[in-house]
Structure 1
């Protein structure tokens, strides 16, 4: 331990043990526990106690009848557990009867403080930290703590109840692990006494008619099998699985969700992956649970690596049944392969779907979410029923928007239940978008586009549904196969885009800002992909979308303005942003947007649009945008001048990114996204280097980077440091007779840098010559500064010494000037 911390520790312990000095900040105590845990993990707990007897004195003070705060008492219990996690330190504390006094019946259990959940939680967590070795297991059996832990499983505080169950699972797993390391006897009677008591308690709870007790037992076992993968786990499962199987004979099955968690935890255990009885129990459970309860189990089974094929098939049928019922309830072909389930399963699922609106919506949303998770996994069922799933997803969406044709009474009731259901629409659109990654029959693609267009056109679609519809549409557009002949779009996709543009135009005029924002995001993505395709260009320029997009630069909502900036920037990159000169001139002269975006950067009151402008400008510079190429230096100088005054650190950081692109291009590395990445060094001809340095001075790149080097926001300073290090490396061959530190220009620059470092950012550098800039660049300790910036900004405040001072400050032990509060 640090000597300074050792000196502060006695005062800290004395303050904590004094009820007249309450600790007002429990956060400090949490940080203090984290520090003690770090100290004990790095060395001997016993040595720590021998060097700091004040810690033992603190723990003994806790045993005395006094009014310590619940926070300090909880801290002391957890500290004792942390120290006793090492067996030699455990024995040391046992000699003084300290641990029985803290965790036994004579401890805080009978005191008034026990009514505080914080104290009960600290008691359990202290035992959880302590239970790391065989001596701790014997202690738990002898000190009478287990009965208290059993009772705390039903504590009114969920945190305490959960911690109690976690402790029992941890102790049971530790017992099996230690026995497996000692000998391989398969007898449960060889387990430690505490483990045998826990198993007996679990057996009794599983036989109980009270669902909460069954739930507690299942949760303990789930923790055990998740924590311990010892070969001994098969002995535990063999003893308890009959009791678990008996739960399936009850109607309804109690604690179904906890039962599912347990069975999946057991199935993932390497020691039980070949247990045929386990797979049979999983199959039985799938048939006994309700459709909503069976869904998570079916998904978990399908994710298992070593699952028998018959069980995988059963699980997939269970997962598909709700969609199969919806599919059959509409006027669909009943012979579609790969989706329809048996009549017995159908009846139960139909009952669940029609029992109430909430049950129907919940079951469908769960099913769609599970299938969405399963679709990209390598262990998904094969063959994957892409066509039926597409048809089912489209059918669900048609039930929601009222365009489905019921084929039965069930279909009619589903129409009434699902009409306008936003939750189901969102889930179905997400799933439909995921299905775009698969290969399906081409004849279904028009149906997909049609239902997507219906949702985008519908005046009843909510903003969140429209956002999901735009996202799904984009995914299907991006997955469309390219036709032969070099055309980017197949005829179906071209037709769909032509039909979609009027809808997009309407959505850009929506009174709801979320809808306008979603439309702009979609437009930017579509333009990025197809703006070079002739058919798309003609359709876009024939619409009012470009003009509406430009008008939204002045939208009252900042998110919309930011999305408009991105969309306009993307359109302008392809010459699509301006109004055509006339109906017969779809490729008429374009209007410049550079001044409009500079205006946004200079005057917008919100940071999002300004950040978007900087990103657009950086892309324009990187891609050689026509307006930028006319006078690149003037463009860069104007942007850097505005960005340097911006109060948003992300704008300034993006300004450095733009400067980096300009630097790389000027030095002969066009298109480089990260020129200071590790790469073979390329020597720059002296003439080009001198010319580039003069250009950097003209656009005031040096001033922008030097100023950013002392930015109050660390990411900006780090980025500037990286840029200047790269520039210094490239400027290494540059030779100048004016590099002496006594040069007037160099002296004035260094003086300005000193003022900037001190926080005086007002005075500019003014005109700067390359020689002075390079001299200052070489004089800076950029490596040292980068190291300093790499440290956490609060590394001083989070030091152990500072932490101890903060705790002492909260109990008014130190003077105001001595505390290092943060």
Structure 2
């Protein structure tokens, strides 16, 4: 603790202990507690109390004095817990203060206990305190377990959650401190505190104790998550009889919480395989309706060690809604691949079609859960790819208004037509299924339904975007298995139509639709720039000229996406068109960088320029210096800090490439082209010609810290890769470095309008040596409000707030 804060702390403790003063701000108390927590973590808490007895006095007055304010009392409880987390400090406070704060005559016996914040602080203080063996005896003497179990029924959710977390922590600490279990593996000698806690939880697991059942199951679920490994089998063996009794109850109570506990047990690798919860999980799944068992089924399928029979049962639960969907059509593919539990019959179909909300909710949940399975290495086998594709296609066609022949199909279509929620979930699953293509005829059906959604005027912008994304996942099969002639047949059939639809979408009156179309164009150009077929299709569609026209779109988001799209087309060599007389878009982008009124397009332009600079065959490869000089000049005067920061990224990339090109060692360049680097000044000539340093040096003192930090890191990189010239410059050849340093000093003090003038390499190197960049980097690493956030500032603010009442009612702000 710094001396000034140490001097002010007694006065602040006196203010907090005085109940006559107004209650302090909760935020200030929270910051104060964070400070004490950091002090306790940095050194012995006992020394902190010995050097600052005012803290002990504050706790004593909270425990013995008149009823303090509730925020201060809650703060004292939490502070006592933080300080007592170290055993030496715990023994000092245990004699008198801790029982008076946490015992029955303490917080639970006071009027302040009626406040949830005080009850929560009592729990949090005990949680912080319970970090060593001595704390367990204190908790046992305190009767804390009984009260924590009572608080599981508290009306405050925060109190219930904190109480459950502390119970789990106490159980884990008790088991950890006693070492490995002694006695039979499934019936060891339990520590007294752990045995008492488990006995009460077992009592709450009786079917008749409905109010306590959910809380007990929640505590036990978390207990298995954090239980010491040697004790997990013993804990499961002890709970198994109570769980069996609970499962025999009619009806099954708390099935979701029960399933969560069984999943937590199954995730514990130490549980004996023969005593695993697989049979119980199968029993719970069998007694739940598909609308209730979906989340549990997903949890079962995410278990790598799950038996095959249980995996098939859980998979069938997830598939039932899609089975009902396909049962409404006459040609349901792949039904023979499904597990028996997937066929629900007419009852399941009636449940699905009971109402529009039931149908939409059940299908959305099933589709979203199934979309999580394809990436799993232990996904169900055999995987019914044909069935899933057919079902998703049927769902999407129903959403588009394609009515099946059957009466049930008509009811399904009426429930789903135009439903955006189901369309989004189905398109997500369709994208996840793309890693396994499936039969060719189904792939064509998938492409067809995707084209319908991209082309449909009823598709919302969100659905359109997901349909574009799904198309991107299905078409690259040509890249996974290259065809000798280029794109494979599905892509050859689908892409021309898709590009024609894209052309129409780029002319949509909705800016979201135009923006999604440009994003798709950018991604497609990135994927297939090397495919000759795609290049021909793209040029035949006349999409690139449309993308270029959108550089003048009235919506700034669209202009930014158009910049990215045009940049990708140009870097991929897809820009050239036989009838295109406009040439490279580079000049137009540089004009936009000077004139566009919104920041989003300007940021995108610098992003594209940086990407082009990295591309050795890109539009900037031939003559980059004059164009970069314009970009640096525009970025330097841009009012948007992100534009200036991206300009510095461009400057860094150019500098890194320049250093690497002439042979100066650079960590960002794998192999220099020359074995022996020339003089360091030669490395800086290209950067000086682009006036890069006229942009970077002022940015070093930018009012926006991210910009200043980026400039500082760039100059530190340059300084690390260069040295001061061995031969000093001749008089008159270069500007005086002192003059340059004076100009930089003006920027520091706010006179940023003064021009730096043209710099030469010797002057740049001289300035690099003169500037204390390391100290500047440390200063910039602190937030702009680091002084206001300091503990000293906090103490001063809290004392000023307490002393301002009645003395100075004028707000100085």
TM-score normalised over the length of structure 2: 0.91
Would the aligned equivalents of 1:805 and 1:814 in 2 still touch at CA under 8 Å? Answer: no
Write the distance in 1 (CA, Å) between the matches of 2:793 and 2:729. Answer: 47
Write the distance in 2 (CA, Å) between the matches of 1:785 and 1:388. Answer: 63
* 1:238-637 map, 5 Å: 238-276=237-275, 278-333=277-332, 336-339=335-338, 341-342=340-341, 345-346=344-345, 349-403=348-402, 405-406=404-405, 408-481=406-479, 487-574=485-572, 576=574, 586-623=578-615, 628-629=620-621, 631-637=623-629
Would the aligned equivalents of 1:189 and 1:196 in 2 still touch at CA under 8 Å? Answer: no
**1:45 equivalenced with 2:61 (yes/no):** no
Would the aligned equivalents of 1:667 and 1:684 in 2 still touch at CA under 8 Å? Answer: no
| Change in 2 beyond 3 A, CA 1:94/1:781 | closer
Quote the offset at 1:615 in angstroms: 0.9
Aligned residue for 1:25?
25
Write the distance in 2 (CA, Å) between the matches of 1:224 and 1:166. Answer: 9
Would the aligned equivalents of 2:662 and 2:683 in 1 still touch at CA under 8 Å? Answer: no
| Change in 2 beyond 3 A, CA 1:813/1:199 | farther
| Change in 2 beyond 3 A, CA 1:189/1:303 | closer
Would the aligned equivalents of 1:321 and 1:340 in 2 still touch at CA under 8 Å? Answer: no
* 1:134-213 map, 5 Å: 134-181=133-180, 183-184=182-183, 191-209=190-208, 211-213=210-212
Would the aligned equivalents of 1:330 and 1:404 in 2 still touch at CA under 8 Å? Answer: no
Quote the offset at 1:108 in angstroms: 2.6
Q: Secondary structure at the match of 1:153?
A: helix
Once the two structures are overlaid, the 10-residue window that deviates more, 461-470 or 721-730, is 721-730
| Change in 2 beyond 3 A, CA 1:671/1:237 | farther
Of the three residues 646, 654, 660, the one matched with 1:654 is 646
Q: When the two structures are aligned, how many residues end up with a matched partner? A: 810
| Change in 2 beyond 3 A, CA 1:261/1:803 | farther
**1:726 equivalenced with 2:717 (yes/no):** yes
Write the distance in 1 (CA, Å) between the matches of 2:791 and 2:806. Answer: 18
| Change in 2 beyond 3 A, CA 1:23/1:763 | farther
Quote the offset at 1:190 in angstroms: 5.0
Q: Secondary structure at the match of 1:763?
A: coil
Aligned residue for 2:218?
219
Write the distance in 2 (CA, Å) between the matches of 1:648 and 1:95. Answer: 61
Higher relative contact order (CA 8 A, sep 6+): 1
Quote the offset at 1:592 in angstroms: 4.3
Write the distance in 1 (CA, Å) between the matches of 2:129 and 2:318. Answer: 43
Aligned residue for 2:130?
131
Quote the offset at 1:643 in angstroms: 0.3
- Structure 1 unaligned residues grouped into runs of 5+: 581-585
Quote the offset at 1:395 in angstroms: 2.2
Q: Secondary structure at the match of 2:230?
A: coil
Q: Secondary structure at the match of 1:289?
A: coil
Write the distance in 2 (CA, Å) between the matches of 1:736 and 1:383. Answer: 76
Once the two structures are overlaid, the 10-residue window that deviates more, 421-430 or 758-767, is 758-767
Once the two structures are overlaid, the 10-residue window that deviates more, 361-370 or 780-789, is 780-789
| Change in 2 beyond 3 A, CA 1:334/1:678 | closer
Write the distance in 2 (CA, Å) between the matches of 1:532 and 1:692. Answer: 35
Quote the offset at 1:653 in angstroms: 1.9
| Change in 2 beyond 3 A, CA 1:810/1:338 | farther
Quote the offset at 1:47 in angstroms: 3.3
Write the distance in 1 (CA, Å) between the matches of 2:132 and 2:346. Answer: 53
Aligned residue for 1:82?
82
Write the distance in 2 (CA, Å) between the matches of 1:706 and 1:620. Answer: 24
Aligned residue for 1:108?
107
Would the aligned equivalents of 2:182 and 2:188 in 1 still touch at CA under 8 Å? Answer: no
RMSD: 3.4
| Change in 2 beyond 3 A, CA 1:113/1:525 | same
Q: Secondary structure at the match of 1:272?
A: coil
Once the two structures are overlaid, the 10-residue window that deviates more, 312-321 or 737-746, is 737-746
Cα deviation digits, residues 696-737 of structure 1 (max 9, x gap): 222211111212222233332333233323333444385443
Once the two structures are overlaid, the 10-residue window that deviates more, 99-108 or 408-417, is 408-417
| Change in 2 beyond 3 A, CA 1:816/1:4 | farther
Quote the offset at 1:576 in angstroms: 5.0
TM-score normalised over the length of structure 1: 0.90
Quote the offset at 1:360 in angstroms: 2.6
Aligned residue for 2:661?
669
Would the aligned equivalents of 2:570 and 2:618 in 1 still touch at CA under 8 Å? Answer: no
**1:69 equivalenced with 2:69 (yes/no):** yes
Once the two structures are overlaid, the 10-residue window that deviates more, 551-560 or 478-487, is 478-487
Aligned residue for 1:583?
none
| Change in 2 beyond 3 A, CA 1:487/1:30 | farther
Cα deviation digits, residues 203-251 of structure 1 (max 9, x gap): 3332254644211111111121112134334333333333333333345
Write the distance in 1 (CA, Å) between the matches of 2:737 and 2:538. Answer: 55
Write the distance in 1 (CA, Å) between the matches of 2:141 and 2:727. Answer: 83
Write the distance in 2 (CA, Å) between the matches of 1:231 and 1:695. Answer: 66
Write the distance in 1 (CA, Å) between the matches of 2:807 and 2:383. Answer: 69
| Change in 2 beyond 3 A, CA 1:457/1:149 | same
Q: Secondary structure at the match of 2:541?
A: coil
Quote the offset at 1:397 in angstroms: 1.6
Q: Secondary structure at the match of 1:221?
A: helix
Cα deviation digits, residues 593-641 of structure 1 (max 9, x gap): 3343223222333321111011112223333577545642210111100
Q: Secondary structure at the match of 2:353?
A: helix
Cα deviation digits, residues 387-440 of structure 1 (max 9, x gap): 32222222222222223635x544333222222221111111111111222353
Would the aligned equivalents of 2:547 and 2:565 in 1 still touch at CA under 8 Å? Answer: yes
Would the aligned equivalents of 1:105 and 1:145 in 2 still touch at CA under 8 Å? Answer: no
Would the aligned equivalents of 1:140 and 1:146 in 2 still touch at CA under 8 Å? Answer: yes
Cα deviation digits, residues 628-670 of structure 1 (max 9, x gap): 4564221011110000011222211221222233334444539
| Change in 2 beyond 3 A, CA 1:675/1:141 | same
Write the distance in 1 (CA, Å) between the matches of 2:342 and 2:768. Answer: 79
Write the distance in 1 (CA, Å) between the matches of 2:482 and 2:232. Answer: 59
Q: Secondary structure at the match of 1:764?
A: coil
Aligned residue for 2:747?
756
Write the distance in 1 (CA, Å) between the matches of 2:417 and 2:79. Answer: 58
Would the aligned equivalents of 2:403 and 2:410 in 1 still touch at CA under 8 Å? Answer: no
Q: Secondary structure at the match of 2:304?
A: coil
Write the distance in 2 (CA, Å) between the matches of 1:742 and 1:505. Answer: 58
Once the two structures are overlaid, the 10-residue window that deviates more, 464-473 or 688-697, is 688-697
Of the three residues 677, 693, 697, the one matched with 2:684 is 693
Would the aligned equivalents of 1:320 and 1:341 in 2 still touch at CA under 8 Å? Answer: no
Write the distance in 2 (CA, Å) between the matches of 1:804 and 1:499. Answer: 69
Write the distance in 1 (CA, Å) between the matches of 2:184 and 2:329. Answer: 60
Quote the offset at 1:100 in angstroms: 2.1
Q: Secondary structure at the match of 1:711?
A: coil
Quote the offset at 1:562 in angstroms: 1.0
Write the distance in 2 (CA, Å) between the matches of 1:671 and 1:289. Answer: 70
Write the distance in 1 (CA, Å) between the matches of 2:101 and 2:632. Answer: 65
Write the distance in 2 (CA, Å) between the matches of 1:422 and 1:122. Answer: 45
Aligned residue for 1:706?
697
| Change in 2 beyond 3 A, CA 1:342/1:119 | closer
Write the distance in 1 (CA, Å) between the matches of 2:663 and 2:606. Answer: 17
Would the aligned equivalents of 1:721 and 1:786 in 2 still touch at CA under 8 Å? Answer: yes
Write the distance in 2 (CA, Å) between the matches of 1:795 and 1:628. Answer: 42
Would the aligned equivalents of 2:431 and 2:470 in 1 still touch at CA under 8 Å? Answer: yes
